[in-house]
Amino acid sequence: MAELDRGTKIYASVLLAITLGLAFLALYQPPQVSRLNDLLQADEQVGNFPYAFRVLRIDKGIAIMSTPRSSAVPVAQVLGKIFPDLGNADPASSRFQAFQDKLASTQKRAKAIVLKDPEVKGVRWELDRDWLMQHGLKPTL
């Protein structure tokens, strides 16, 4: 196997450093965010829920959290992906309402857990577009 010239070695080293740096930035989670996400996962209701509510980042004391709920996607579609046994239940049915209440109460609980942190002054929800796309749902906004 031929040995690489000096310029190619430098180029490969720089490319490797950039790739490792980008991977670190993509995977790095600040300690406070990681701790809050661990608390969410440790909670029986939130941790066992089919959708993983999580803190994405903290900006000036505001925790930005993921949610699958938005006016950009009909709630029936979201609920159908979270609870596959819901099927095509009528949105006016008690079964549909029970699943919707379960989603809402779990989201409220996730928010309450995060707000217990003395450094968190509030929560802002951010639509989890990646989750929606992975589940075949396309937000309209």
Question: What is residue 20's predicted lDDT score, i.e. its pLDDT?
Answer: 65
pLDDT of residue 55: 97
Query: What confidence tens digit (pLDDT) does each residue in 15-28 have?
Result: 776 776 565 555 55
What phi and psi values does residue 70 have, to the nearest 5 degrees?
-175, 160
Domains along the sequence of the chain with CATH: 29-134 (3.30.300)
